[in-house]
């Protein structure tokens, strides 16, 4: 009996030792597993940080339901950039202040026009970076349209954008604000960065005349074949049949047509949108009814172009083409030469039409033309 008890005792001891060994091996396996895989099996749950909302990350404005989202973003595309030139920032602010002041103190149709389809058709859209650009022909708009095409991602650089792409309409060209629904239009006008370029109004008219009726560099024969004869027929003081040839439109004829306050609109209806090259800035962009972010001047484009890119949050994404020295400088001598054969009465009528453009954008009245002795 004693032998049987000893046998059971030894068996119990063996079982206890076996259990201890098994526990030790299990711990060893667990420690080795932890050592080999580290934290790979551990899931760390973290609250995701809110995605920074910037102009460059927004694909479409419909995803933005609140202005505060942009204003409270953790970072912005300008965070790493140096502060803007204080002098140019002050100039830009003064331009906007002048625009606002003239709009408030004037009820004239020279400064106030409704936001019509004609206006909306002049405004190009870059949804990718939330930018609107109002086209004002004869102030370097072709290059700015190329900038928007690059920002839309169609071409890598401005230099690679073909000329034909810049001027094409429809789906292959830049989207216009007029192609959107009223709700989409309102959203963009209220939230997007908006800019336009202006130029001395009389110098712009000279550029339009030279481009469309003298040089005609973009092979647009209808200006000389269709528009010029109509202007000559109606506004030249004497127009015998042999003077109705397309190449005979004179600057005097052009000025007399532009200054006509009675019948010009009826004449313009025959020309359609071709008249945008000499329509006033007010009629093109409704600056008293659309709150623009920047108003740039052609005469200071060297400073304005980089300022616009920075203010729009796209500096570093695209470059404005190099500007040849002196090409944007106001040329009073040229203006005097072109108007030398124009009567004071016709100059005054022309100024009366474009006076709003002079006042809204701070261009001085051309008194050297208005106050001269008239020899006509």
Q: How many helices (H) and strands (E) does the chain have?
A: 17, 5
Closest CA to 298 of 210, 161, 166, 203: 203
- Partners of 132 in beta bridges: 125, 194
pLDDT at residue 221 in the model: 84
pLDDT at residue 109 in the model: 79
pTM: 0.75
Task: Return d(Cα 363, Cα 11) in angstroms, integer.
Answer: 111
Strand order in the sheet with 175-176: 175-176, 123-126, 131-134, 193-198, 294-297
pLDDT at residue 364 in the model: 96
Q: Which residues of 100-136 are buried (b: 16+ CB within 10 A; e: fewer)?
A: eebbeeeeeebbebebeebbbbbbbbbbbbbbbbbbb
pLDDT at residue 8 in the model: 53
Low-confidence ranges of the chain (pLDDT < 50): 1-2, 5-6, 9, 13-16, 19-81, 242, 244-246
pLDDT at residue 163 in the model: 81
Mode of pairing for the β-strands spanning 294-297 and 193-198: parallel
pLDDT at residue 232 in the model: 93
Classify 134 as helix, strand or coil: strand
How do residues 145-161 score in pLDDT, each as one tens digit? 999 999 998 889 999 88
pLDDT at residue 122 in the model: 96
pLDDT at residue 185 in the model: 97
pLDDT at residue 357 in the model: 96
pLDDT at residue 324 in the model: 86
Closest CA to 265 of 73, 154, 109: 109
Rg (the chain; Cα; Å): 35
Structure tokens at 163: 């000329």
Task: Return d(Cα 355, Cα 111) in angstroms, integer.
Answer: 9
Mode of pairing for the β-strands spanning 175-176 and 294-297: unpaired
Closest CA to 196 of 121, 126, 124: 124
What are the domain boundaries of the chain?
Answer: 83-364
- Partners of 134 in beta bridges: 123, 196
At residue 167's C-alpha, the angle toward residues 163 and 168, to 5°, is: 110
């Amino acid at each position: 009996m004693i032998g049987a008890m000893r046998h059971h005792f030894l068996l119990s001891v063996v079982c206890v030792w076996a259990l201890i060994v098994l526990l030790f091996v299990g711990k060893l396996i667990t420690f080795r597993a932890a050592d080999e895989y580290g934290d790979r099996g551990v899931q760390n749950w973290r609250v995701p940080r809110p995605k920074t909302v910037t102009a460059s990350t927004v694909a479409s404005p419909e995803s933005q339901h609140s202005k505060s989202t942009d204003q409270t973003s953790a970072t912005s595309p300008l965070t790493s950039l140096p502060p803007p030139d204080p002098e140019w920032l002050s100039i830009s602010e003064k331009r906007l202040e002048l625009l606002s002041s003239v709009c408030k103190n004037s009820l004239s149709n020279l400064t106030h026009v409704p936001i019509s389809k004609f206006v909306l058709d002049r405004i190009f859209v870059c949804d990718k970076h939330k930018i609107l650009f109002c086209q004002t022909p004869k102030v370097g708009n072709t290059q700015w349209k190329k900038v928007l095409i690059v920002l839309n991602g169609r071409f890598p650089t401005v230099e690679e954008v073909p000329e034909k792409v810049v001027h094409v309409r429809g789906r292959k060209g830049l989207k216009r604000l007029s192609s959107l629904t009223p709700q989409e239009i309102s959203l963009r006008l209220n939230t997007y960065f908006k800019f336009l370029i202006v130029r001395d109004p009389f110098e712009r008219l000279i550029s339009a005349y030279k481009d469309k009726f003298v040089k005609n560099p973009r092979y647009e024969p209808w200006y000389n074949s269709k528009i010029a004869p109509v202007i000559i027929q109606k506004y030249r003081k004497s127009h015998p049949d042999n003077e109705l040839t397309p190449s005979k439109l004179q600057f005097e004829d052009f000025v007399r047509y532009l200054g006509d306050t009675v019948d010009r609109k009826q004449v313009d209806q025959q020309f359609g949108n071709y008249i945008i090259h000499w329509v006033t800035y007010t009629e093109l962009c409704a600056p008293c009814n659309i709150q623009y972010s920047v108003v740039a001047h052609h005469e200071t484009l060297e400073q304005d172009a980089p300022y616009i890119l920075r203010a729009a949050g796209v500096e570093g994404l695209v470059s404005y083409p190099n500007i040849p020295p002196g090409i944007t400088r106001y040329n009073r001598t040229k203006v005097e030469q072109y108007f030398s054969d124009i009567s004071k009465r016709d100059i005054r009528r022309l100024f009366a039409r474009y006076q709003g453009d002079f006042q809204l954008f701070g261009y001085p009245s051309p008194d050297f033309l208005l106050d001269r002795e008239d020899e006509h």
